[in-house]
Amino acid sequence: MRNLQKKPQGWHVSLTIGPDIQIPVTGYKMVDSSFNIGWNVQTVDNEPIIKDHGFFKKDETCVENQDIIDGYVFGNSIIPFSAVEKETMTYDSGEKCLNVLQTAPIAECLPKHLFIGDTVHYFVPQPDDEEAAVAFAAVVKALYDLDLAFIVRKVYRNGTIPMLGAMIPKIEDDHYILLFLEIPFKQDNKKVNIPSLRYVKSTEEQISCIDRLITSMDLTNPEIFEEDEEPYAPEKLIDPFKQHVDKCIVMKALHKDSPLPSQPEKFILDLIKPLPVIEERSKDVLEDVKKVFPLEKVDTDKNKKEAAVMFDLGNNPDEAPNINGEIKMELDASMDDLVKSSIDHISTVNPESDFESILKNGVPFVRVCDELQSVIIKLFISCVDDDVKKPLKVLAFLRKHCLDYDPMLYNIWLGFLKDIIIERENHNIWELIIQESLSLITSKESEKSNLTMEEAKLFNEVKKQTPESNKMDEIMDADDLVRYYKNI
């Protein structure tokens, strides 16, 4: 199967050098990814499937599109973001352009690891423009002689995101070309400190074996390939995936009711195999590699025990001890170890036992408390028909532990929980929390708390905001709690 031959569409723009020089050029894609056929989802009757979505309030009334704006979650608050604000914050890149910012030495300033993007463009002077051809050739010749490249700012279309690129000169058979490769901006080029790999000392035999393997698979070896022969030449390679998809489409077109082949055809499988001459030369060396690098099976689950070991049955299952005796004790101990080693996070299924198990494993209380608080918020948000028995039970469990450890962890977080409940207009849930005495921990309950009863009562109140009121809410909220504890 061959790709559909398309006439390349050039990108016409003026290469601007300084305030006075403009050279009309045209850019083409030099390298591009292979084109794969898209798929459309249809019904059995070949009717297209129309996808639609809508937004509904709690009373199941649909919200019109003109009444919907974007919003972003910041902490426990939702920040609205209208189209006017989006337009104001959008960067205006201006009209399409290809402006030269400066020149840079290719060898020193443009290492290959800076080249990003997924394609390469080449620029030539616009056809039927002799003046542009002369000026373009002079610029490319000067850059080529000085081993320099242009650093340019490229805007493909009005309002699109600008790109930074390097235009490298190339002269081939009296053809003058500028190759455009995208490079990152300064803030995008970051140095990442990666820890070193675990050092493993290799023997001389292992090093020698790998050297022989590399030599046997060398594609530049003149003893195997001739000078004008290039194995795996990019322009001659065929995409096996695309070939298989095209074959399946042809088969379905010719034989509609026939099943697809279970595996690709032989010529497609041959595309992913190494060259026969390379496979033959490296055959013996690969056997040596298997010998000098023996593989060992690693048992990753050391806590798992087989039934025969756990019950100590031996070779005769009839001689098993009493189920109420030794076996029960051995089984209980084994299961306890298995459960203890497997729990590493708090789930919404049994958060109390998960909390205690993780604490026994030595995880700091603050970290486990923070995870349990997130689980409680999920339980309150996902409760159906205001059935909050489970989240209230877990909330009481958390309050009891924070009462002994540090009440501040509970008090500050409760302010955030209150904000979430009130913003979702679940006032009845907040009233249940107060009725169950699960509000702030005061100094009357714990000496570690500095909150008075009057401050706790003020916190429990819910003041309904009116649109006409522009006054600040005097009720203590989460931010007030944070500032209060900072001033203690």
Domain boundary pick from 292, 317, 333: 292
d(CA 114, CA 47): 48
The pLDDT value recorded for residue 178 is 95
Domain count for the chain, please give it: 3
d(CA 137, CA 132): 8
User: Does 158 lie in the same domain as 219?
Assistant: no
DSSP-assigned letter for residue 173: T
Name residue 12's beta-bridge partners: 26
Those residues whose C-beta lies under 8 Å from the C-beta of residue 88, and which sit 6 or more positions away, are none
> pLDDT, tens digit, for every residue of 245-286?
888 888 888 888 888 888 888 888 888 888 888 888 899 999
The secondary structure of 406-427 as a DSSP string is -HHHHHHHHHHHHHHHHHTT-H
d(CA 176, CA 138): 9
The pLDDT value recorded for residue 45 is 66
d(CA 384, CA 437): 22
- Between β-strands 148-155 and 97-105, what pairing exists: parallel, antiparallel or unpaired? antiparallel
Domain boundary pick from 147, 182, 217: 182
The pLDDT value recorded for residue 211 is 94
Q: Would you say residue 307 lies in a domain?
A: no
User: Does 234 lie in the same domain as 168?
Assistant: no
Q: Would you say residue 265 lies in a domain?
A: yes
User: Does 177 lie in the same domain as 272?
Assistant: no
Those residues whose C-beta lies under 8 Å from the C-beta of residue 16, and which sit 6 or more positions away, are 22, 97, 98, 99, 100
Write out the two tokens for 68.
């919907």
CA atoms within 13 A on the CB side of 160: 10
Neighbours of 480 (CB within 10 A): 16
Q: 389-405 and 365-382 helices cross at what angle (nearest 10)?
A: 160
> pLDDT, tens digit, for every residue of 58-95?
788 888 888 888 888 887 788 888 888 888 888 888 89
User: Does 356 lie in the same domain as 396?
Assistant: yes
The pLDDT value recorded for residue 321 is 46
Closest Cα partner for 68 from 57, 60, 59, 76? 57
Q: Would you say residue 127 lies in a domain?
A: yes
Write out the two tokens for 324.
């109420």
User: Does 394 lie in the same domain as 361?
Assistant: yes
d(CA 399, CA 408): 11
The CATH number of residue 229's host domain is 1.10.1600.10
Write out the two tokens for 452.
């008075």
Please say whether the beta carbons of 453 and 413 come within 8 A: no
Q: Which amino acid is at 169?
A: P
Closest Cα partner for 436 from 392, 377, 473, 480? 392
The CATH number of residue 135's host domain is 2.40.290.10
The secondary structure of 428-444 as a DSSP string is HHHHHHHHTT-S---TT
Task: Give me the residues of the chain with pLDDT under 50, please.
Answer: 303-308, 310-341, 466-478, 481-488
d(CA 471, CA 343): 49
Domain boundary pick from 276, 292, 308: 292
Those residues whose C-beta lies under 8 Å from the C-beta of residue 227, and which sit 6 or more positions away, are none
Containing domain of residue 425, as a range?
341-460
Write out the two tokens for 254.
């010719």
Predicted TM-score (pTM) of the model is: 0.48
The pLDDT value recorded for residue 2 is 58
- Between β-strands 163-172 and 62-63, what pairing exists: parallel, antiparallel or unpaired? unpaired
Name residue 78's beta-bridge partners: 73
The pLDDT value recorded for residue 339 is 46
User: Does 158 lie in the same domain as 17?
Assistant: yes
> Strands, E, within 32-74: which ranges?
55-56, 62-63, 70-74
